[in-house]
Amino acid sequence: MGLWTKEQLRAFIKENNLVTAQDAQNALKNLFAETLQEMLEAEMDTHLGYKKHDVQNKRTSNSRNGKSKKTITSEYGEQKITVPRDRQGEFDPVVIQKHQSNVTGIEDQIIALYAKGVSTREIQDHLHPLYGIDVSPTMISNVTNKIVPLIKEWQNRPLQTVYAVVFLDAIHFKVKQDGAIVNKAAYM
């Protein structure tokens, strides 16, 4: 079962006049930004304990205090969103944390490419066509420098003298079953 029913999906396609793959990509980009926006609003409602304009259920001295603009980078490119603020400055969003502007998992891509021995310039050249964003070699170095201590720690961890290992393998045979030929695995 998908996120939407077929009828809802068809209505979305018709409503947004989607004809090409690029149209679909742009619609998903807008939908993604709107979803993040609503998640931030829901977080603020939970933080304050009441919904926007619901003064009867307000049981706190804290209240909304406008929004701040933020540009985030996602798989869909750069998008502008607004992050709600509270008067006491206690709101700490989880969806997009303070000082976070990247929600692509791009750091994971940088680390994977770095682990394969790709240079920072080649990583930069690789990321631009994929995500449509310019990532400086300095940023790539900063990302990789964050994980170097973790790699060193893992490499220098104490090893046990004995490890239990189980090897499993299977050979697949074509077998006639109920009048049809099917693949069956024999595990060893």
pLDDT at 1: 46
Q: Does residue 72 lie within any of the structural domains?
A: yes
pLDDT, average across residues 115-143 = 77
Structure tokens at 164: 């239990």
Residue 139 falls within a domain, yes or no?
no
Whether 81 maps to a domain, the answer reads yes
pLDDT at 27 over 90: no
The answer as to whether 187 is a domain residue is no
- Assess if residue 174 is contained within a domain: no
Structural domains in the chain (count): 1
pLDDT at residue 150 in the model: 77
Residue 39 lies in a domain: yes
Backbone angles phi, psi at 116, to 5 degrees: -85, 0
Higher pLDDT, 106 or 158: 158
Range of the domain at 42: 1-104
17 conformational bin, left if phi > 0, alpha if psi -120 to 50, beta if neither:
left
Largest CA distance in the chain: 74
Provide, rounded to the nearest whole percent, the portion of the chain with pLDDT above 90.
13
